[in-house]
Amino acid sequence: MAYNIVPLTELISQFERLPGIGKKTAQRLALSILEQPPERAEKFAEALVNARKKIHFCKCCQALTDLEICPICSDETRDRGVICVVAEPKDVMAFERTREFGGTYHVLHGVISPLDGVGPDRLRIKELMTRLASGEVKEIIMATNPTVEGEATASYLSRLIKPMGIKVTRLAYGIPVGGDLEYADEFTLARALEGRNEI
Amino acid sequence: MAYNIVPLTELISQFERLPGIGKKTAQRLALSILEQPPERAEKFAEALVNARKKIHFCKCCQALTDLEICPICSDETRDRGVICVVAEPKDVMAFERTREFGGTYHVLHGVISPLDGVGPDRLRIKELMTRLASGEVKEIIMATNPTVEGEATASYLSRLIKPMGIKVTRLAYGIPVGGDLEYADEFTLARALEGRNEI
């Protein structure tokens, strides 16, 4: 009879399915659960089910929320005239951590990527267009990643939105704060030169 | 109103409490749960609670099991005359993966470590002594880690057991299979020389 503890094997395989978690890490995580009091495992289980059940996309900006309309969209103090368009819900969190942006967001839930079979129709572009129809919006900030797909998505949307008379901007390219010129690639450096500002 | 999705924050903090999981990884893992169908989160939650509830220590060898006596201890074909003493339940799994050991195990659940306030009384030594009292055991293999604490524990137990007329052995030290002599530290190399075998 082989030494196989079914409930443990099952827990390990659940951890293994998480992104970036290999066999050994999964085993370590599963064993750490066994070392904790049972209440910890129950709280963890509750948090898992709760998060999955309660969180959905904001009806307006498509970001994650447990409300019908997310706190950002329903915040009267935020500028509805500016929409920052991002690819993923986690990008909203990244911008919110800066505490620098007072506008609203729109999450596309992906980027155009013909190689992966993701066309514009698979993104939440229709929902963005509905928001623009109100006429309230003055500027769209394209904040997709500086990758081929991110650029393609930004320029696709810009071609779509510019004719509506709305200003479309793109995040600045340049050297990262605290970065080292020596390690910056030539494209980044060239863009940093191009986008130089007077001091 | 800040952008704080309570169920998500709770799930992230649960992941963060796992060993070796930082803030960013915890966020990535939590978001990956939201991307999966709800059944996945439910199965994961079930596995967590199940594993914690059903798994306990084998009454005999103190290894992890969901039965009263683990499959290794209750396996008639295994040699009860040889006990491999390990520090942690995961060590049993490591040995079982080799498929080379036909004896039984005993898990101490720690090693003697005065700096951390762990004395012999905190380990499952009493349970080991009870097993030795049967007179069936011929050999004890000390398979604790080759660290200061592991060595101290091995020699403490050896002093305790040897007077009972039981053979006490220690895992071989040497160069790891597939290792490179160039990178072996001097202590390991010295031990590998010392423990050399005729070919």
Question: A6 — contact with chain B (CB < 8 Å)?
Answer: yes
Instruction: Please give the average per-residue pLDDT across B73-89, as a whole number.
Output: 94
CB A58 within 8 A of CB B5: no
Dig out the tokens for B161 from the structure.
């057991």
Residue B186 pLDDT exceeds 90: no
d(CA B41, CA B36): 7
Question: A68 — contact with chain B (CB < 8 Å)?
Answer: no
* Chain A partners within 8 Å of B3 (Cβ): 63, 70-72, 92-93, 96
Confidence band for B27, pLDDT divided at 50, 70 and 90: very high
Which residues, including other chains, have CB under 8 Å from residue B87's CB and lie 6 or more apart?
A: B107, B108, B109, B110, B111, B144, B145, B150, B153
Residue A8 pLDDT exceeds 60: yes
pLDDT at A2: 63
pLDDT at A179: 81
Among A40, A48, A90, whose Cβ lies nearest the Cβ of B41? A48
pLDDT at A185: 86
Question: What is the sign, positive or negative, of the torsion defined by CA atoms of A16, A19, A25, A29?
Answer: negative
Residue closest to B101 by CA, chosen among B71, B141, B157: B141
d(CA B103, CA B100): 9
CA distances from A11 to B15, B101, B112 (A): 14, 26, 30
Global model pTM greater than 0.90: no
- What residue type is A43 in one-letter code? K
CA distances from A137 to A64, A129, B97 (A): 22, 11, 62
Residue B147 pLDDT exceeds 50: yes
What is the interface size between A and B, counted as CB pairs within 8 Å? 160
Question: A148 — contact with chain B (CB < 8 Å)?
Answer: no
Confidence band for B2, pLDDT divided at 50, 70 and 90: low
Asked if the Cβ–Cβ distance from A55 to B34 is below 8 Å, we say yes
Question: B92 — contact with chain A (CB < 8 Å)?
Answer: yes
